[in-house]
Amino acid sequence: MDMKTAPLSLLNDPSLLKTDALINGHWVKGASRFDVHDPATGQKLADVANLTAKDAEAAIDAANAAWPAWRNKTGKERSILLRKWFDLLMANQEDLGRIMTAEQGKPFAEAKGEVAYGASFVEWFAEEAKRVNGETLPQFDNNRRLMVLKQPIGVCAAITPWNFPLAMITRKVAPALAAGCPVVIKPAELTPLTALAAAELAIRAGIPAGVVNIITADSDNSIAIGKVFCSSDIVRHISFTGSTEVGRILMAQSAPSIKKLALELGGNAPFIVFDDADIDSAVDGAMASKYRNAGQTCVCANRIYVQDAVYDEFVQKFSAKVKTLKVGNGFEDGVAQGPLIEDAAIEKVQRHVQDAISKGGKVMVGGNKQTVSSSSPPSLPTHVQTCCAPAKKPLAPSPPYSVFTKSKKPWTLPTTPSLVWPATSTAATLAASTA
């Protein structure tokens, strides 16, 4: 079968393709299922267990029951198991990358790179598990000694995004496991297959039942599961990566139980080019900053400010670089830009492009919806006087441009500056012409 039409049929180890949730070491089918699609083709990849709030409570109870034995292991014992998990992640790098590209869309080489990146967190915290050190403090009274002991806090919940289906899980889960805490993971509904494969490898590594639990659910049930995490007196810590709006909700819902929270929320990062910059280096930096994962990362530049003296040169060179990007299915050779994750993302980029054009923008690369396909380049409108404010960070390859002068520095510009949107991936989305 063709890789682009049935990518998951080519796994070296088909048993890594799990579609049921994981609770207390058992794969749970759930009362209903939801579909997971390939964003490049629209093809259905699998139907996955659609768990409920009641299932989330069962997973939390399982994690809590597994906690005493897990926390009582020595740091070295936990380290050995985490190291085995790391080794298995790396041994299955190609299959994990294939699953990731199929459900998330990023180029295959980039997906395999994320596997290595994600596994590195497990490797690092496997070593740190042996070094959870306390501290002695200078005493204020010679009849007393002051010591700080570090102990596992308890059940940790992790809610992870779709843009890094493995790395966002391992970055949250590995330190919790190393410290002696069991985890309940709610992966994004758009990309659950990578998480489930990683959980299968955790089981193979010998991590005990109940220590790692995966709750899969569609968008509606995910809201109910999030409420369970926040309201539970058993869950002592929640780690979330996603939008500021959802982070604010989780914080409010967790307030009654005074939970510890680790929130990585949306930003609005600027890329600033001054007139004394090496323009070639600036262009290379902007390309790397904006077009990684088709612009769908938390740290991609969302705004680009260029000083007036070098604006034209920068835009010309940047446009030339953008034209060289190969857009297509992530499994195709040489593809640098895969699809955007879903139709809503395509529509958002199109709104940005059309808004820029309506405000006087000149499209230098792509930009027409009719031409958006697996082979079309990103779109790049410039010379826009006003545009929609980037108040909410768009996870898309569409940073606005603004000219600034020596007398008007970029940090003094208003929230709605003169903008230019190089909105590409409708361009990076194959689905736009097929969905």
Task: Kindly provide the b/e burial profile for residues 168-207, where b requires at least 16 CB atoms within 10 angstroms of the residue's own CB.
Answer: bbbbbbbbbbbbbbbbbbbbbbbbbbbbbbbbbbbbebeb
DSSP 400: P
Q: What is the pTM of this model?
A: 0.86
Give the list of residues 6+ apart from residue 328 with CB closer than 8 angstroms, or none.
Answer: 40, 335, 337, 338, 374, 375, 430
Residues annotated as part of the active site: 264, 298
- Cα separations in angstroms, 251 against 214, 220, 221, 234: 22, 19, 19, 16
pLDDT-derived band of residue 428, with 50, 70 and 90 as boundaries?
very low
Q: What is the pLDDT of residues 61-114, one digit of tens each?
A: 999 999 999 999 999 999 999 999 999 999 999 999 999 999 999 999 999 999
Burial class of residue 258 (count of CB atoms within 10 Å of its CB; 0-12, 13-18, 19+): exposed
Cα(156)–Cα(173) distance, integer angstroms: 8
Cα(104)–Cα(11) distance, integer angstroms: 16
Cβ atoms of 176 and 77 closer than 8 Å? no
Q: Cβ of 333: how many Cβ atoms within 10 Å?
A: 9
**Distance, C-alpha 6 to centroid of its chain:** 24
Q: What is the pLDDT of residues 191-210, one digit of tens each?
A: 999 999 999 999 999 999 99
* First vs last C-alpha separation in the chain: 22
**The dihedral sign for the CA sequence 15, 16, 21, 25:** positive
Q: What is the pLDDT of residues 32-70, one digit of tens each?
A: 999 999 999 999 999 999 999 999 999 999 999 999 999
For the ranges 172-186, 253-267, 329-343, the one whose mean pLDDT is highest: 172-186
